């Protein structure tokens, strides 16, 4: 069973700061997902990646397959970025769902 660890668990920062959230996993994967869960509870997929780096707006996700590690970066953070960010991995490329980290609770203060 893949173990997914996220750090930090909680993060409070000021508006405009550069944010980094880390994710490590124990077993090789076929893909890694970053998800965002807003205070209202809805879950939205931000990125799916299996190598390298992806960028969408102010969000950047990177993955190092050899190190079994991924990072999610937020540039020029804004209070609307406040949410729980969840890392999830697909270990086998099969149909049996994802294994999730416990999430990082991010608060951006104005």
Q: What residue ranges bind another protein (CB under 8 A)? A: 1, 4, 30-31, 33, 35, 41-45, 48, 50, 86, 88, 90, 92-103
| Minimum distance, C-beta of residue 38 to another protein, in the bound complex (Å) | 11
Q: Cβ closer to another protein: 23 or 108?
A: 23
**Structure tokens that stand for 105 in this block:** 């609770």
Q: Cβ closer to another protein: 4 or 83?
A: 4
Q: Is 88 helix (H, G, I), strand (E, B) or coil?
A: strand
Cα separation, 38 vs 40, in Å, equals 5
- Across the strands, what pairs with 99? 89
| Minimum distance, C-beta of residue 47 to another protein, in the bound complex (Å) | 9
Q: Cβ closer to another protein: 19 or 84?
A: 84
CA distances from 27 to 65, 85, 91, 95, 109 (A): 10, 21, 7, 17, 36
| Minimum distance, C-beta of residue 45 to another protein, in the bound complex (Å) | 5
């Amino acid at each position: 069973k893949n173990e997914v660890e996220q750090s930090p668990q909680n993060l409070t920062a000021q508006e405009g700061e550069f944010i980094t959230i880390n994710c490590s996993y124990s077993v090789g994967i076929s893909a890694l997902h970053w998800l965002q869960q807003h205070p209202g509870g809805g879950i939205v997929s931000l990125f799916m990646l299996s190598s390298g780096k992806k960028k969408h707006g102010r969000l950047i996700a990177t993955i190092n397959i050899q190190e079994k590690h991924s990072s999610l970066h937020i540039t020029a953070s804004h209070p609307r970025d406040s949410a729980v960010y969840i890392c999830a991995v697909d270990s086998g490329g099969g149909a049996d769902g994802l294994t999730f980290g416990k999430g990082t609770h991010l608060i951006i203060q104005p």
